[in-house]
Structure 1
Amino acid sequence: MTDQSDALIDTAIERMRQDMAREPRAVAASYDAASGRISVDLANGCMFAFPPRLAPGLEQASAEQLAAVQIEQFGFRLTWPTLRVTVSLPDLMAARFGTTAHLARRAGQATSPAKASAARANGSKGGRPRRPTS
């Protein structure tokens, strides 16, 4: 190996040490059917729990499927192999519960009489107005 390769490896190892100390890492994870939440014990002694509906791909999972949670990547990810779902623990804890597309899709699914009425009214006006050009 070259000196440059050794330096890159040393840098990567140091970055991993910093991430391991700074970012939340799971040491245990389970599904608690009584509360309907996935509970995660963290390396720093804290505990984090969240409802499965917040994670993309877990919304319709059964209790048995949710109980099959596994920890990967040094505790930074939770995975459900049979569902083919993997979520980032730091992202979950930072309330980033999925991709922007997933969040937009969930927001677009919201229905109410007011939303339906507004859509009808806007449609009768010819649709969305054009953006002004400068």
Structure 2
Amino acid sequence: MALTEAALKQAEARMQKRRDAGPRAVSAHYDRRVGRVVVQLNTGVELGFPPSLAEGLAQARPKDLVDIEVSPAGTGLHFPLLDVDLYVPALLEGILGSRKWMAQAMGKAGGAQTSEAKAQAARSNGKLGGRPRKRVES
């Protein structure tokens, strides 16, 4: 597929529109003192998050986080030592990974929560017989 001059101009226009549409990263670094990835945005706002909350960074050591590349458009962060990419607009919305990863993280957090409603549901299920006992075969 050949790239025409018109297609190139259209792509550049779309990119400029995307750049103008919202905040973008201008730099990023790992702050060892506070244990956070810090992203400076073109708006003057700084975004910081602990690596343990982001997909692909949870098991990262501080030395793996020292090299962070910002994409030319400012919409992506790349961690070359880990081969991990994060999308800046998603980070601004609190989305720190893929849908599947976020669903697993949210399910884990939700399963660990306790409430009166959960306790009541467990009691109701228990009255129905509860979970079957595991059989130990000898």
* Smaller-chain TM-score bracket: 0.7 to 0.9
Q: Hey, what's the Cα distance between the residues in 2 that align with 1:104 and 1:94?
A: 15
Cα deviation for residue 124 of structure 1 reads 4.3
- Structure 1 stretch displaced more, 42-51 or 107-116: 107-116
CA contact (8 A) 2:65 2:81 kept: no
> What runs of 5+ residues in structure 1 fail to find an aligned partner?
128-134
Q: Hey, what's the Cα distance between the residues in 2 that align with 1:50 and 1:85?
A: 15
Equivalent in the alignment of 1:95: 94
Deviations 1:38-82 (A, max 9, x none): 111122332221221221011111111112212124221111112
Distance 1:55-1:73 versus aligned 2 partners, 3 A rule: farther
Report the secondary structure of 1:41's partner residue: strand
Equivalent in the alignment of 2:136: none
Q: Hey, what's the Cα distance between the residues in 2 that align with 1:60 and 1:107?
A: 18
| Correspondences of 1:102-113 after superposition (within 5 Å) | 102-110=101-109, 111=112
Equivalent in the alignment of 1:70: 69
Instruction: Number of aligned residue pairs: give it.
Output: 124
Equivalent in the alignment of 1:28: 27
Cα deviation for residue 108 of structure 1 reads 3.5
Task: Give the TM-score, by structure 2 length.
Answer: 0.72
Residue type of the alignment partner of 1:28? S
| Correspondences of 1:42-81 after superposition (within 5 Å) | 42-81=41-80
Equivalent in the alignment of 1:16: 15
Deviations 1:70-109 (A, max 9, x none): 2124221111112111000111011122122112222343
Report the secondary structure of 1:75's partner residue: coil
Equivalent in the alignment of 1:82: 81
Residue type of the alignment partner of 2:78? T
Report the secondary structure of 1:53's partner residue: helix
Distance 1:39-1:108 versus aligned 2 partners, 3 A rule: same
